[in-house]
Structure 1
Amino acid sequence: MDDYRKTAIDENAGVTTQVTAGSRDYGADDETAINQAVGQGLHQIEAQKTHWYSYFTTKEFWIALAVGQLLALCQTATNTFSSFLAINGNSVPAFQSLFTYILLSIIYLSYALYSYGPRKWLGILWKDGWKYLILSFFDVEGNYFTVLAYRYTNQLSAQLINFWAIVVVVILSFLLLRVRYKLFQILGILVACGGMGILLGSDYIQGNNTREAEDLLKGDLFALVGATCYGLTNTFEEWLVSKRPMYEVLGFMGLFGMIIIGVQAAIFDRHSFQQATWNGSVGGWMTGFTLALCLFYSVVPLLLRIASAAFFNISLLTGNFWGTIIGIHVFGYAVHFLYPIAFVCIILGLVVYFLAGSMLGESKKPWLGENQEGGVVGIGTAKRKALNLAKKQGFAPGGATV
């Protein structure tokens, strides 16, 4: 959870409101002083003498790497529970995701209402609700169309098309968020994608993903729509969590996602729901799916702050490796010798991505301004790191705690 309670600037009205930082309230003058302190902190961090490996010595790199693999494991867990449900005749993709959005609402929407108060929360809903509605729509449809694609096409085809999500993120970040990718970042993405290619190639050699598909063209189109929605969601969410508290973003995603997925479940899953088998095992798999996906949603904003939507997407490429490890023990899969090589290539791509980077990595977002004045002082942000340094060196406003 973020450590501050109020946002400093109302961008539309141009009015500065009070900021709670520790036990002291800050107005316009103090907010300017805080931004100046952040600027000095950022300058000192970026002025440090660096080597090509310097970012690897920071805790932020190892946190980003670990969080990326945690998310890949969460995704693998949701896929595993979905497989159990599908094998036992319970193909209700919209309905099984509904409980995740309900849980997100219970946790984060409740905290947002407590933190802001009902009146201020309603003001945010009125002013920014449309942004969260769009984010939730793309998120829900990404989940829905990806699951739907596997009903018509084979796994190999769907996984190849999922690479499109990385392309969408890179293009949108470049055009809309003014992100400028360095040579090593592009190389890292290519190396990681090459590792994924080896993984898919080994699946093809073994025949793991060559089952007959019901309608390849329809399935591939659904996979393409799902991957596009994922790319839009990841980029938009990175922009939002850099400017707003994580609990606010997740709370609104839970609220709007619950409404959208609920309507879809009532329309499209009604027939499947009536034919599904319901017992204790199904309840356990649904619970596991919900908890794993809720953890996934809860951790994603942290990685988007420390790193980026692009790093997040290439981190998820290792999910196929973790899925195979589970498949060996649960579904009796056999492992091809190329699997470990593929995993090493993907991890190597993640490392190459941060070669010759600054000590801030990707936590300094270009769309927030030179001193990150448009950003939130929250966990994982460059603004928080710079303000902490300013506090230690005594040039932050007295009493500011982050």
Structure 2
Amino acid sequence: MACFNFNEIKTKKTLIGLGLGQILSLLSTSISFTSSEIARKGINAPASQLLLGYVFLAIVYGGIMLYRRPVIKAKWYCYLLLSLVDVEANFLVVKAYQNTSMTSVMLLDCWAIPCVLVLTWVFLKTKYGLMKISGVVICIVGVVIVVFSDVHAGDRAGGSHPVKGDFLVIAGATLYAVTNVSQEFLVKNADRLELMSFTGLFGAIICAIQISIFERGALKAIDWSTGTVLSYLVIALGVFLFYSLLTVLLKTYGAAMFTLSLLTSDMWAVLIRNFAYHEKVDSLYYLAFATTAIGLIIYSMKEKDQEKQIGGEVIDEQRKLFDEEDGESMRDSLIGAPT
């Protein structure tokens, strides 16, 4: 995983990445805000909120892909599994809005970051120094404070079952970590257009299945007013733009820039909770935010001993993801990469 270097913040490329990260941060916050508003109306249909966004991805990127007719570089079932995990991660987080506050959801999303570190350490054989480990520990402390805060805050937490909602977010964030690591690998080693097309296609299919099984009754009970329809459209457009820009950020600037952007999404969440919802924020939230932010900054800082990858075993595993006709070129690029 890439590591953010504060000494490079003045470069044009880094500034562009920071700007792109802020756009992603605002998109994430707007999606969360809209989902929270839908939950406040008593609408219990998480998969239906995600369906249209995946459909947009499938139509736009799938149409471009059909026009260009490129060679598929990764096996189709890789995208199916990735989409399944991605849909369930989004489902759990959207479901959490019916049980806990928006602030808790945004803060607990940070749990994905230590999970990403663990996954890259286990599967990509990435080694981390003491600073990275310290950052992970501090992030976990922040997560514990959020859960304790919701227990302490009770009915002020913004949901009927705040602790249940917190653990739904933690489960969703863990799945987000799996998708982020997988997406970063695929967008760098396969094809961005291919990734977006299949994510949209399989994501839409999985959402439609979940809706037909679990949400038919909830959809019939929804009052499809203009406000509700607009909320669904806002989420769909936000999902489409978020995934489109996320792949650009991962491919060009790496995961560290995205990690830095997550900090501001938490900040926007706190501001929305204070000024838009006009609700009192428990004092422990500020401590939780500060603790999580400090942990993220520490883990994002560049160390003298950069993370190292043991390339041999990783290359063997990566080769299995690609078709034989594309194997030679991919092997050449992987073997020739520095480790």
TM bucket normalised to smaller: 0.7 to 0.9
What does residue 26 of structure 2 align with? 73
User: Residues of 2 paired with 1:53 and 1:153: CA distance?
Assistant: 35
Match of residue 177, structure 1, among 110, 115, 124: 124
Query: 1:54–1:331: structure 2 CA closer, same or farther, 3 Å change rule?
Result: closer
Alignment of 1:45-60 (within 5 A): 53-60=6-13
- Contact 2:139/2:296 (<8 A) preserved: yes
Greater share of helix: 2
One-letter amino acid of the counterpart of residue 161, structure 2: A
Query: 1:344–1:213: structure 2 CA closer, same or farther, 3 Å change rule?
Result: closer
Deviation at 1:176, TM superposition (A): 1.0
What does residue 233 of structure 1 align with? 179
What does residue 297 of structure 1 align with? 243
Tell me the alpha carbon deviations over residues 130-149 of structure 1, each in whole angstroms, 9 at most, x when there is no partner: 11111100000111122224
What does residue 209 of structure 1 align with? 157
Task: Tell me whether 1:112 sits opposite 2:58 in the alignment.
Answer: no
Number of equivalent positions: 314
- Contact 1:166/1:310 (<8 A) preserved: no
Deviation at 1:264, TM superposition (A): 0.7
What does residue 114 of structure 2 align with? 167
SS in 2 for 1:90: coil
Query: 1:210–1:287: structure 2 CA closer, same or farther, 3 Å change rule?
Result: closer
One-letter amino acid of the counterpart of residue 81, structure 1: T
Q: Which moved more, 1:223-232 or 1:146-155?
A: 146-155
User: Residues of 2 paired with 1:99 and 1:246: CA distance?
Assistant: 20
User: Residues of 2 paired with 1:226 and 1:135: CA distance?
Assistant: 14
What does residue 100 of structure 1 align with? 53
Deviation at 1:344, TM superposition (A): 6.7
User: Residues of 2 paired with 1:281 and 1:222: CA distance?
Assistant: 27
What does residue 262 of structure 1 align with? 208
One-letter amino acid of the counterpart of residue 112, structure 2: A
Tell me the alpha carbon deviations over residues 347-366 of structure 1, each in whole angstroms, 9 at most, x when there is no partner: 665554454458xx99x996
Tell me the alpha carbon deviations over residues 363-388 of structure 1, each in whole angstroms, 9 at most, x when there is no partner: x996579xxx84999xxxxx9xx9xx
Once superposed, what is the RMSD of the aligned Cα atoms? 4.0
One-letter amino acid of the counterpart of residue 327, structure 1: R
Query: 1:335–1:156: structure 2 CA closer, same or farther, 3 Å change rule?
Result: closer
What's the % identity of the aligned pairs? 32
Match of residue 312, structure 1, among 258, 261, 285: 258
- Contact 1:244/1:376 (<8 A) preserved: no
Structure 2 unaligned residues grouped into runs of 5+? 317-328
Query: 1:71–1:326: structure 2 CA closer, same or farther, 3 Å change rule?
Result: same
User: Residues of 2 paired with 1:276 and 1:266: CA distance?
Assistant: 15
Match of residue 37, structure 2, among 84, 87, 90: 84
What does residue 134 of structure 1 align with? 81
Structure 1 unaligned residues grouped into runs of 5+? 1-51, 378-382, 387-402
Deviation at 1:298, TM superposition (A): 1.1
Query: 1:168–1:339: structure 2 CA closer, same or farther, 3 Å change rule?
Result: closer
SS in 1 for 2:127: coil
One-letter amino acid of the counterpart of residue 332, structure 1: H
SS in 1 for 2:278: coil
- Contact 2:92/2:172 (<8 A) preserved: yes
Q: Which moved more, 1:323-332 or 1:252-261?
A: 323-332
One-letter amino acid of the counterpart of residue 42, structure 2: G
